[in-house]
Amino acid sequence: MTPMLSLRLSMESDIDWSADNMLNSLKKKFLLLYTCSTGLILTAVLIFVLIITNEQLLKGKKDTFLNNFTTVSKNVQMDNVISHLWLSELEIKNHLIIHIEDNGKALLYKGAWQTPTERETLFDRLKDLAQKDNINTNIRPISLNEVQSKIYDLKGNKNDRYLGAVSIVPAETGYRSVVMLQYISGGRSAEIKQLFFILFADISGITALFFVSRWIVGKSLKPVEESRKQQTEFIAAASHELKSPLAVIRANASALMIEPDRMEHFAKGIDKECWRLSSLIEDMLLLASADAKRWHVKKEIIDMDILFIETYDLFFPYCREQGKNLKLELQEDMLPKTEGDIRRLKQILAVLIDNAAAYTKERDTIILRGYSKRNRLWMEVEDHGPGIADAKKKEVFERFYREDKSRKDKNHFGLGLSIARELAELHGGNITLKDTAGGGATFSVCIPAARSV
């Protein structure tokens, strides 16, 4: 292996490694961005759901407490005798703590269950809260109507939590007061379980989002990866094609210095290779413009019959020089006109005729055909050459593709059909390939006819 070739391969390897590394880095950044952003949104939604759920649960507990508190207050107001059994059942069933006073004197009821914090301590704290709102159970109210506090949320000495309220109701012998609390810390274990469930759902969701994001990122960057691969292959193929004429030019230039008396012979070789090099560069620039979406067509109304006749007249002598026959077939009626770039449409036909002439045997006939069908115009070039295998039909439109790589014809670089496809698509059409009856290949270009002329 020569030093120059080794250096070129090393540079290509470094470029490929750098491009792959950059693409992998981009994938990781997008994956991190998608996972974090969607994970934060999921976490925020779950926290919001948790807060709303807890608020709804607390509201339900307050509604239940208010109903029980109202029931006790009404019974205290209406009944002269308060059943200790009824109070005990009510406390145990609803986790209530009830304290009743008659004209400031406490009812002799010790409660049905033991609270984490002393009952008297809880009653005193609740009374203090109510007193701040001007509700004092030790003083007869001025109003003859029932006085009821709001529902308070208070804590005990052992992190136990309660809902509480105070009510003063008029009675026959004066007034009575009700101080009642409901123990709500019993739901703490349920809240912890709910928190763990939310945390588990959040972690599971973020994990699922990670894999979904990886799939989305991979799919989103797949066109970029394929484009990079195509560009790498294009550069490699272009480098190979450029190397051939440059090598011939250098060889002729060196020979010219050694044998100056054969200047004309070597100058012709240099001129021929310069022409080949110029054609190749022009084709590559055209494809680069198409890739960059900067390739535009100058549209005008085109008479397709004239276009076919002019193309036939132009290529008939060329095909005859190649030892091939060129035949023009048009439908009996005039072809509908189309809107497009006449120079580019002729370029498509030129590529197809030149391609057919390169592969058709001597004295064979190449058919240039034009017809219309369902408001579409069809341009076909039919040859009776070796044909193209079904597995290769899509590959012929790839850049630098050659069906027969052993052919010595150096005037074809394998870019013509790629250019023809790009031009057909710029005219809103497409190009397809099918087998010719009896052997050979037929290229068909379909473009829309003009809507109105």
Q: State pLDDT tens for residues 325-352.
A: 999 999 999 999 999 988 889 888 988 9
Tokens representing 192 are 């912890």
Selection from 379, 376, 375, 371 nearest residue 332 by Cα: 371
* Interatomic CA distance for residues 115 and 37, integer angstroms: 47
**Which amino acid, one-letter code, is at 126?**
L
Task: Go through 51-60 and write b for each residue having 16 or more CB atoms within 10 A of its CB, e for each that does not.
Answer: eeeeeeeeee
Tokens representing 396 are 């012929």
Q: Please, where are the H alpha helices in 292-363?
A: 304-321, 342-359
Reported residue count of the chain is 453
- Asked if 155 and 176 touch (Cβ cutoff 8 Å), the reply is no
**Which amino acid, one-letter code, is at 407?**
R
| pLDDT score of 251 | 78
- Asked if 272 and 278 touch (Cβ cutoff 8 Å), the reply is no
- Asked if 39 and 209 touch (Cβ cutoff 8 Å), the reply is yes
| pLDDT score of 32 | 83
| pLDDT score of 358 | 85
* Interatomic CA distance for residues 92 and 304, integer angstroms: 98
| pLDDT score of 410 | 47
| pLDDT score of 7 | 40
**Positions of the chain with pLDDT lower than 50, given as ranges:** 1-12, 15, 405-410
* Interatomic CA distance for residues 242 and 271, integer angstroms: 15
* Interatomic CA distance for residues 123 and 179, integer angstroms: 7
- Asked if 433 and 423 touch (Cβ cutoff 8 Å), the reply is no
| pLDDT score of 5 | 40
DSSP state of 47: H
